[in-house]
């Protein structure tokens, strides 16, 4: 009976070991199949962090802070006023520039009007010359007609002398008229050199005064420090009443709707990475519950140590090889980013599917459009142009529209009667 029990136990042990071996084989086959079809095409790293556009808010001119209209964690829109500087000095300079422009426009308008007057004077002098030439011709005919008659006594000497005196007077009058005509023509030419080929609103003096108005107008507007893009305020350092200089950092603006991930892969992993490959990302802040999807948009041009503040000096006696890492930029799905917001600097775990290696390892096409831009300065320039057009039109007594040659750049003024 004991031998039978031992045989059954031995058989049961053998069946158990067989099942375990079969399960191990199946697990190995399953893992091998997964690795062949999927696992070998993945490159992963946990050395990845969220990055974004961190914009330093700085004033364009010096001034005293009179208002702070945004604080840490606040959301702001592009063009929203963040900090106000005292605009008193800038407004005084603007009023002076506006007055100078108005005076210059009227002086130029007078210059054009004087040219019209000089042109009329030239026509008057030309008529005087023609009249004097006619009188001279008549006096010359009288002298020529009486000259042969003096010898036979048909014309008296006194009458002939009187005709000769009239001829001399006519010659003097004609010469004086010719001199006056020449002087008028010179004055007209001198005036036309300052007005030919241009309208009053295109005159250099007007353009110079208009540029001063634009400069002063921008100074007034730049007393309000505005947000260049949408984002959240972080690291505010400015205080009320503080005297700040141009370019001094006031606060930081982070655009959380334009984030990406910089994943630092080992140099041994770069062989399979290509631009355009899909990636899955997990953020420590959300855990495995949330999976972000992204795309490789570029590989770094060097390792992190190559751009470090203190690069490694490997040509030393105690050199130890350290595996280098290269940053790989991964874009995020904007919809997923809106549903699950991230912050700059958060840790991520990145897995890239390298099955498709048809892409390039380095970008070879230059960027054609601006990655990040702001339209805030354009609105300031348009307001300055509108102010200039108003002053010029008032000085000329007609409507003047400032034509814009390019965004933020004023072109020539177009006058309308």
pLDDT in tens, 395-412: 777 655 544 343 334 444
Query: 17: pLDDT confidence band, cut at 50, 70 and 90?
Result: confident
Query: 59: pLDDT confidence band, cut at 50, 70 and 90?
Result: very high
Query: 297: pLDDT confidence band, cut at 50, 70 and 90?
Result: very high
| pLDDT score of 218 | 87
* Three-class SS of the chain: CHHHHHHHHHHHHHHHHHHHHHHHHHHHHHHHHHHHHCHHHEEEEEEEEEEEEEEEECCCCCEEEEEECCCCCCEECCCCEEEEECCHHHHHHHHHHHHHHHHHHHHHHHHHHHHHHHHHHHHHHHHHHHHHHHHHHHHHHHHHHHHHHHHCCCCCHHHHHHHHHHHHHHHHHHHHHHHHHHHHHHHHHHHHCCCCCCCHHHCHHHHHHHHHHHHHHHHHHCCEEECCCCEEEECCCCCCCCEECCCCCCEEEEEEEEEEEEEEEEHHHHHHCCCCCEEEEEECCCHHHCCEEEEEEEECCCCCHHHCCCCCCCCCCCCCCCCCEEEEEEEECHHHHHHCCCCCCCEEEEEEECCCCCCCCCCCCCCCCCCCCCCHHHHHHHHHHHHHHHHHHHHHCCEEEEEEEECCEEEEEEEEC
What is the chain's mean pLDDT, rounded?
Answer: 79
Give the chain's domains with CATH numbers: 42-85+224-353 (2.40.50.100), 88-222+375-416 (1.10.287)
Calculate mean pLDDT across residues 277-293.
92
Predicted model pTM: 0.67
Residue 309 in this model has a pLDDT that exceeds 90:
no
Query: 240: pLDDT confidence band, cut at 50, 70 and 90?
Result: very high
Residue 193 in this model has a pLDDT that exceeds 80:
no
Higher local confidence (pLDDT), 70 or 150:
70
Residue 97 in this model has a pLDDT that exceeds 70:
yes
Higher local confidence (pLDDT), 73 or 318:
73
Residue 242 in this model has a pLDDT that exceeds 60:
yes
Report the range of poorest mean pLDDT among 140-144, 168-172, 213-217, 272-276: 140-144
């Amino acid at each position: 009976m004991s031998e039978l029990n031992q045989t059954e136990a031995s058989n049961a042990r053998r069946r158990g070991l067989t099942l375990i071996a079969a399960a191990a084989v199946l697990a190995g086959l399953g893992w091998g199949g997964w690795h062949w079809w999927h696992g070998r095409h993945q490159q992963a790293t946990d050395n990845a962090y969220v990055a974004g556009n961190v914009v330093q808010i700085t004033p364009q001119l010096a001034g005293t802070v009179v208002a702070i209209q945004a604080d840490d964690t606040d959301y702001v829109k592009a063009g929203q006023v963040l900090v106000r500087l005292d605009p008193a000095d800038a407004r005084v300079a603007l009023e002076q520039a506006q007055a100078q422009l108005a005076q210059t426009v009227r002086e130029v308008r007078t210059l054009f009007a004087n040219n019209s007057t000089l042109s009329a004077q030239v026509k008057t002098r030309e008529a005087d010359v023609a009249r004097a030439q006619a009188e001279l011709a008549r006096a010359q005919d009288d002298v020529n007609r009486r000259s042969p008659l003096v010898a036979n006594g048909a014309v008296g000497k006194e009458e002939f002398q009187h005709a000769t005196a009239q001829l001399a007077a006519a010659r003097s009058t004609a010469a004086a008229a010719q001199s006056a005509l020449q002087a008028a023509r010179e004055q007209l030419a001198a005036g036309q050199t300052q007005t030919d080929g241009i309208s009053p609103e295109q005159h250099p003096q007007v353009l110079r005064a208009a540029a001063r108005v634009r400069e002063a107008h921008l100074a007034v507007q730049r007393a309000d420090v505005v947000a260049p893009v949408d984002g959240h305020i972080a690291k505010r350092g400015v205080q009320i009443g503080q005297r700040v200089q141009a370019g001094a950092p006031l606060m930081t603006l982070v655009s959380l709707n334009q984030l990406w991930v910089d994943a630092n892969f080992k140099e041994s992993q770069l062989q399979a990475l290509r631009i355009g490959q899909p990636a899955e990302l997990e953020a420590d802040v959300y855990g495995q519950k949330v999976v972000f999807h992204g795309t490789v948009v570029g590989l770094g041009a060097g390792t992190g140590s190559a751009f470090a503040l203190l690069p490694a000096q490997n040509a030393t006696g105690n050199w130890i090889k350290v595996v280098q890492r290269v940053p790989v930029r991964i874009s995020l799905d904007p919809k997923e980013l809106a549903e699950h917001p991230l912050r700059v600097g958060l840790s991520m775990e990145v897995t890239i599917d390298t099955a498709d290696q048809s892409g390039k390892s380095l970008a070879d096409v230059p960027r054609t459009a601006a990655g990040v831009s702001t339209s805030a300065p354009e609105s300031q320039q348009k307001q300055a142009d509108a102010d200039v057009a108003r002053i010029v039109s008032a000085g000329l007594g007609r409507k003047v529209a400032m034509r814009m040659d390019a965004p933020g750049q004023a072109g020539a003024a177009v006058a309308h009667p």
